[in-house]
Amino acid sequence: MQAIVLLCLFGAVFVHANDYSWNGPGTNKDNRGVDINEENVCVTDQASCGCCLMQQQIHRMKTFFNMSLNELEKQLINTKTVLNNIRASRSAFSVALTSESNLKCFGPFRDDNLIVYKHVFINLGDGYSAETGIFTVPRSGVYSFALTVYSDAGAPGNSLAACATLQVNGNVVAGPREKNMQDQEDSATIVVALHLTAEDKVAVNLPIGCFLCDDKSHYNTFTGFLLYATD
């Protein structure tokens, strides 16, 4: 490379002045658009011609790589933006009624009561509150919810009432229900997909006369997650 640079310098020094002419940009070109000076150099001085052609090629390569690098940087920024949006939209929770060592029942009550699930398996996005039992929708989209209820009557012949309702903004959407006097214990499950709006409130209600029993085996669970966002 050093030899080429020296060759270019020597070629520039020893080229005769009458071999060149300069009248400003855009001049001294023939009808083919070729610079007459450059063509004369190639005829009279092969070393200078090779140097000029090499410099032109290097300039083209630099321009190409700079453009390619700029395009890659733009694509990287766009990809990071999309990834950050996906991370920000992640929302999933799964909770259980309790983690007590011994079986403990919730209800029955004289009035409807929201069920507060105390044991949290996962709460990605912090949408679920273990203080209120309410899941606040972080962004508009389609969500999947699964609700499983379990109860134990205590002895054969006693009334079994394993039931609850899934509510959105206080309105009943669906609810598993198992009421009879034949089973000492039983369970029921529902799974639904709902299109919700940001700030909607989703919770599980225990109707009058129903009761749920649970321990560290986690028979009663409430789960929800975002399938895809719509905003």
The model's pLDDT over 197-206, given as tens digits with 9 standing for 90+, comes to 999 999 999 9
Mean pLDDT within 79-96: 79
Nearest to 212 by CA among 224, 221, 203: 221
Domain 90-229 has CATH 2.60.120.40: yes
> Is 219 exposed, middle or buried, given 0-12, 13-18 or 19+ CB atoms closer than 10 A?
buried
Least confident of 151-160, 168-177, 196-205: 151-160
Q: Of residues 18 and 170, which shows the higher confidence score? A: 170
Nearest to 154 by CA among 113, 192, 178, 183: 183
Domain limits, CATH 2.60.120.40, in the chain: 90-229
Mean pLDDT within 174-187: 81
Average pLDDT, the chain: 80
| Planar angle of CA 178, 204, 161, nearest 5 degrees | 20
Burial 173-192 (b: 16+ CB within 10 A, else e): eebbebeeeebeebbbebee
Whether the pLDDT of residue 56 is over 70: the answer is yes
Query: pLDDT category, 48, cuts 50, 70, 90?
Result: low
Least confident of 128-132, 182-186, 197-201, 204-208: 182-186
Nearest to 218 by CA among 157, 162, 150, 135: 150
- pTM score of the predicted model: 0.63
Query: pLDDT category, 21, cuts 50, 70, 90?
Result: very low
> What letter would DSSP give residue 225?
E
Mean pLDDT within 87-107: 87
| pLDDT of amino acid 89 | 67
Backbone dihedral angles phi then psi of residue 75, each to the nearest 5 degrees: -65, -35
| pLDDT of amino acid 195 | 97
Whether the pLDDT of residue 144 is over 80: the answer is yes
CA distance 156 to 210: 17
Whether the pLDDT of residue 143 is over 70: the answer is yes
Nearest to 8 by CA among 57, 45, 38, 39: 45
Whether the pLDDT of residue 132 is over 70: the answer is yes
Whether the pLDDT of residue 160 is over 50: the answer is yes
H/E element, 24: none
Mean pLDDT within 174-189: 83
Query: pLDDT category, 87, cuts 50, 70, 90?
Result: low
**What is the secondary structure of 77-132 as a DSSP string?**
HHHHHHHHHHHHH--EEEEES---SS-EEE---SS-EE----EEEEEETS-B-TTT
